Amino acid sequence: MMEGSAWLPLWLSISVWDESFWLPLNVSRAQLEDSQNPVYPRLKDLYFILPWTWAIYVLRLLFERFIATPFAKFLGVDCRPIQKAQQNIVLEKVFKDITTEPGKNHLTRLAKQLDWDTHRVIQWFKLRRYQDKPSLLTKFCESMWKFTFYLWAFSFSFYYLSKSPWLWDSRECWYNYPFHELSNEVYIHYMMEFAFYGSLIFSQFFDVKRKDFFVMCIHHHVTILLLTIAYVANMTRAGTIVLLLHDAADVVLELAKMANYAKWQKLCNVFFLMFAVVFIVTRLVIYPLMSIRSIFFESWEIIGPHKIWGFINLLLITLLIMHIYWSHLIIRMVFKAFHKGKVSKDDRSDVESSSEDEDQPEQNAHAKTL
């Protein structure tokens, strides 16, 4: 007889491949797959996600090189290459194998070993730490790409959703479910979101590293999983609303970053405060009261018990917990902004202040002495 714990993987494997896990009772996958008019989401559509993802990633590379970079130069973003530390085998070994910030005694020993003064060793480590950071140009191009995508996604989704009844009455997401026709607009929207977040999962290891890296990694995977569930189970109507709410704040966030990298501090402050308001309203108010409430209560009321119901709500609540975490950081940033007169970098998850680049001129000056 199998132990109780061994039943769990077996139950999960059976459930995931079972039609009843994804669809309501008395509804088969064939009813959706074989329909020609109207057309519903099909499993074979997911095969196109990988080509879409690579297409989006290549488009990003072209966009950053031929559009974002010239625009950054036009705005006066600092495009100078980052000053590199003088090559030194001894210090490089210490930097890579021991510590990037040696203590006072360690610095003294290194200075004697190299016949340098301590200040020169300190400046070498400062410069070496700085050269591993992405340049302002790199940050600006990344933000401009994300801003462009989020602006397109929000505008496109709001355009077609404003003519859709389920945006104004969330119960429409569940009437006659799952027989909701897949329109061209919804298909394009989903494929683009799949491709965008798929490319971020790949590129996050090369993009600007921030202190919420692991939270963002979880966020991207949860988003992909939610998109997949919504598409396979044809909960696309509810999914489009969730996407709309999430893209709204990201548009303003990337604007704040771009203004920050261009050294437009007052404009950065304005955009960041706008972002804080939009983020809290859309993700801590509308999202739980509209999206989570609809999927948690209205779907149960209209379509009845559903095996995937608990899993999808767990993922939605996971997103909400991350929103609460980010909101905590954002609110702290707002208070500091009012106190200091500008947005600082200390508590934000993914909006760095240009203050982190203020050490560069000093480092460049010292670099000339090395």
CATH assignment of the domain containing 127: 1.10.10.60
Answer yes or no: do 156 and 246 share one domain.
Answer: yes
- pLDDT in the model for residue 356: 42
* Three-state SS sequence of 209-258: CCCCHHHHHHHHHHHHHHHHHHHHCCCHHHHHHHHHHHHHHHHHHHHHHH
Answer yes or no: do 215 and 161 share one domain.
Answer: yes
- Integer Cα distance of 321 and 72 in angstroms: 35
Lowest mean pLDDT among 17-26, 165-174, 194-203: 17-26
Answer yes or no: do 146 and 224 share one domain.
Answer: yes
Q: Mean of the pLDDT values across residues 233-252? A: 96
Residue 59 lies in a domain: no
Answer yes or no: do 124 and 213 share one domain.
Answer: no
Q: Mean of the pLDDT values across residues 161-166? A: 96
User: Which of 301, 11, 32, 58 lies closest to 195, judged by CA?
Assistant: 58
Q: Mean of the pLDDT values across residues 302-308? A: 85
Answer yes or no: do 95 and 165 share one domain.
Answer: no
Find all residues with CB under 8 Å of 244, minimum gap 6, and list them.
Answer: 154, 157, 158, 161, 167
Task: Give the pTM.
Answer: 0.82
Q: How confident is the model at residue 348 (pLDDT cuts 50, 70, 90)?
A: very low
- Integer Cα distance of 49 and 41 in angstroms: 13
Residue 294 lies in a domain: yes
Answer yes or no: do 121 and 245 share one domain.
Answer: no
Lowest mean pLDDT among 98-112, 139-153, 283-297: 98-112
- Sequence length of the chain is 370
Both structure tokens of 286: 């509308």
Provide the residue range defining the domain that includes 256.
134-340
Q: In this structure, are residues 195 and 320 in contact, taking their beta carbons and an 8 Å threshold?
A: no
Answer yes or no: do 205 and 102 share one domain.
Answer: no
Both structure tokens of 310: 């608990």
Highest mean pLDDT pick, 5-9, 29-33, 334-338: 29-33
CB atoms within 10 A of CB 270: 16
Which of 79, 101, 132 is the last residue before a domain boundary?
Answer: 132
Which of 132, 153, 186 is the last residue before a domain boundary?
Answer: 132
Instruction: Report pLDDT digits (tens) over 19-43.
Output: 778 888 888 889 999 999 999 999 9
Q: How confident is the model at residue 357 (pLDDT cuts 50, 70, 90)?
A: very low
Which of 132, 166, 198 is the last residue before a domain boundary?
Answer: 132
CA angle 254, 126, 88 (to 5 degrees): 125
Answer yes or no: do 334 and 204 share one domain.
Answer: yes
Residue 203 lies in a domain: yes
Both structure tokens of 222: 């949860």
H/E element, 327? helix 309-340
Q: How confident is the model at residue 330 (pLDDT cuts 50, 70, 90)?
A: very high
- Integer Cα distance of 112 and 110 in angstroms: 5
Answer yes or no: do 159 and 280 share one domain.
Answer: yes
Residue 356 lies in a domain: no
Answer yes or no: do 326 and 207 share one domain.
Answer: yes
Residue 270 lies in a domain: yes
Q: How confident is the model at residue 2 (pLDDT cuts 50, 70, 90)?
A: very low
Q: Mean of the pLDDT values across residues 308-318? A: 90
Percent of the chain predicted with pLDDT > 90: 56
Residue 11 lies in a domain: no
Q: Mean of the pLDDT values across residues 321-327? A: 93
Higher local confidence (pLDDT), 302 or 10: 302
Residue 272 lies in a domain: yes
Residue 288 lies in a domain: yes
- Integer Cα distance of 366 and 363 in angstroms: 5
The domain total for the chain is 2
- pLDDT in the model for residue 360: 42
Answer yes or no: do 125 and 210 share one domain.
Answer: no
Answer yes or no: do 117 and 187 share one domain.
Answer: no
Q: How confident is the model at residue 15 (pLDDT cuts 50, 70, 90)?
A: low
Q: How confident is the model at residue 4 (pLDDT cuts 50, 70, 90)?
A: very low
